[in-house]
Amino acid sequence: MKYYLEKLVEGKSLLEIEMEEAVQEMFTQDTTDAEIASFLTGLKSKGETAEEVSGLVKAIRKHALNFTKNIPNVLDNCGTGGDGSKSFNISTTSAFVIAGAGITVAKHGNRSVSSKTGSADVLEALGVSLDFSPEATEEILEQNGIAFLFAPHVHPKLKQIMKVRRDLKIPTIFNLIGPLTNPVQLDYQLLGIYRRDLLDKFAHVLANLNRKRAIVINGAGGMDEASLAGENEMVIVSDGEIRHTRLKPEEVNLPVYDNSRIRGGDARDNADILLQVLKGKKGAHRDTVLLNAGLGIYTAGKAESILQGVDLAAESIDSGRALAKLENLISISNRNKKAVG
């Protein structure tokens, strides 16, 4: 670690392979908490490069639980958190809508970070199990088209690093990379990020991670989701090519809502919002999900435009297919709990 720490202190960036090696060292018992803290603060002070973020993500994925099946055309849709909007669980609700449109979704997530309720909290309130094995998760992906991967469960070796993060009490690169560390091999990704200045950097990371297609989006008002409050800034990654663009609600025939209209509550409140949206209730919650699910459907190549993606998202809800995906996952979870019990 000494070599890598000295490079960071000198303001020098690490190569991707060096970053992988440094993170590998952090997983060993020989590395102290002080060294990990110095490494994370050194990166933050210098400013992380796309190569460094890619190396970090690749190293973390190597130490995750082993997912071996090569399931084709899998997507994840997830925000980094940190926007302070206290919104309901937009990406989690959208995941079921995307799955209902015929796209396989490996939803990677955690408990609450910046909102009152994280994806794990709301799914647990709905009766979804958080501790499926890799084999069971892969089977669910193949049979149901959507499964949830609880980050602490699939990344058990990160405990020491997470402890250092909590002790530091300052944001580090780990506050932003959660959505990138999904251990399932993804072809497509919709990534929300609350910092507009990092859009391009994370687009390059997704290109480095060989996504066939991905969108990195910063929503109006600084949200880590697409927002109906105004103009959304996004970067589209397609076969290694990177393109910047913007999106307004009126371009996809959706109304404008202030972000205050989509605030959520505790896990039970947000579970109720999620259910109401999947059952077809109209309003700001549904329209926000239509926008985000439409982007996911477009990202996965199921729609030729975002507008068509929004239309397919509405069809997924109104047909009952989105709700059926959730009900199937709850049913599978109940069987799993009985088998374990």
How many whole angstroms separate alpha carbon 192 and alpha carbon 87? Answer: 13
Query: Residue ranges for the binding site for anthranilate?
Result: 79, 110, 165
Longest CA pairwise span in the chain (Å)? 58
Strand order in the sheet with 74-79: 146-150, 104-109, 74-79, 188-192, 213-218, 232-238, 241-247
Rounded to whole angstroms, what are the CA distances from 235 to 193, 194, 220, 230, 232?
11, 14, 14, 17, 10
Residue 291 one-letter amino acid: L
Query: Residue ranges for the binding site?
Result: 79, 82-83, 87, 89-92, 107-115, 119, 165, 224-225
Query: Residue ranges for the binding site for Mg(2+)?
Result: 91, 224-225
Question: 3-state class of 216 per DSSP?
Answer: strand
Burial class (CB in 10 A: 0-12, 13-18, 19+), 12: exposed
**How far is residue 38 CA from its own chain's centroid?**
27
Please provide the distance, in angstroms rounded to a whole number, between the alpha carbons at the two ends of the chain.
44
* Helix, strand counts (H, E) of the chain: 14, 7
The answer to whether the beta carbons of residues 114 and 84 sit under 8 Å apart is yes
How many whole angstroms separate alpha carbon 163 and alpha carbon 190? Answer: 28
Other Cβ atoms closer than 10 A to 171: 12
Query: Residue ranges for the binding site for 5-phospho-alpha-D-ribose 1-diphosphate?
Result: 79, 82-83, 87, 89-92, 107-115, 119
How many whole angstroms separate alpha carbon 79 and alpha carbon 72? Answer: 23
